[in-house]
Amino acid sequence: KVVPKEVKDYVKGLYGKTPAPISKKMIVKILGDEEPVTVRPADLLAPELDRVTREAYDMGIVRKEEDILTYALYPAVAPKFLKGEAKEEPLNKVPKLELAPQAVMHTEFRVEVDGDVFNVKVKPVGGAVAIDSVKEAPKGAQANTEGAVVAPMQGMVLKLKVKPNDKVAKGDVVAVIEAMKMENNVHSPAAGIVKEVCVREGATVSRSDLLMVVG
């Protein structure tokens, strides 16, 4: 299962004390060998405002003071947004309404109730329903690729932790995908050598898209 970085940080205590205790079993499942924070989380942070401010001005993305804060909070996506390079995602089209085909049916019946016979006429009532065409789910580029490392979700490639010819072990973090402002680690499914990296940092990927090949 994919556990976002923010969830790990929350369980670790980097957001402060939780409203209710978290079970030790859940902590071990999420953090593994990492230990929860027992001190004030802010004491673990190094001063970064001066560095972030310099970087923001060097990139030419500061038009007002709030832009520095935006870059400090979202260093991976803020530059594109503040430069106006972020592209609007297309909206899915609403399926057209189509009339359901009318089934052939009898409209007159003779019904017997307690020995009495009644002639009953039935008038079918039509209506509009939404009919979606059924299509096979698209398969990602990894379908026939041995040793494929694929995107577990749609998002942006925030970081690539490896490059071609790097040696990785099973379970190593090889990339980080940002989705809904949350960071999600992508792990290598097997040990081996990185044969090919198929994406670049900042690229937008869909679920099951091929990120790299390990063999």
- Degrees (nearest 5) of the Cα angle 204, 3, 85? 20
Which pTM was predicted?
0.50
The contacts found for 123-127 with CB under 8 angstroms, 24 or more apart, are 126/99, 126/100, 126/102, 127/100
Q: How many residues does the chain have?
A: 215
- Written as one letter, the residue type at 193 is I
Tens place of pLDDT for every residue, the chain, 215 residues? 678 888 999 999 998 888 999 999 999 999 988 899 989 988 888 889 999 999 999 999 999 999 999 999 988 888 988 888 766 667 777 777 666 665 555 567 777 776 666 677 776 665 554 444 444 444 444 445 788 999 998 999 999 999 999 999 998 999 999 988 788 999 998 999 999 999 999 899 998 899 999 98
Rounded CA-CA distance 171/9 in Å is: 19
For 148-214, CATH number out of 3.40.50.300, 2.40.50.100, 2.60.40.2310, 3.30.2130.10 equals 2.40.50.100
Q: What is the token pair recorded at 111?
A: 């019904």
DSSP calls for 23-60: PHHHHHHHHTTPPPP-S-GGGGPPP-HHHHHHHHHHTT
Residue 17 to residue 213: CA distance in whole angstroms: 40
Q: Give the Cβ contact number of residue 184 at 10 Å.
A: 21
| Domain edges within the chain | 5-83, 97-130, 148-214
- Cβ-Cβ contacts under 8 Å for 57 (sequence gap 6 or more): none
CA angle 20, 23, 28 (to 5 degrees): 130
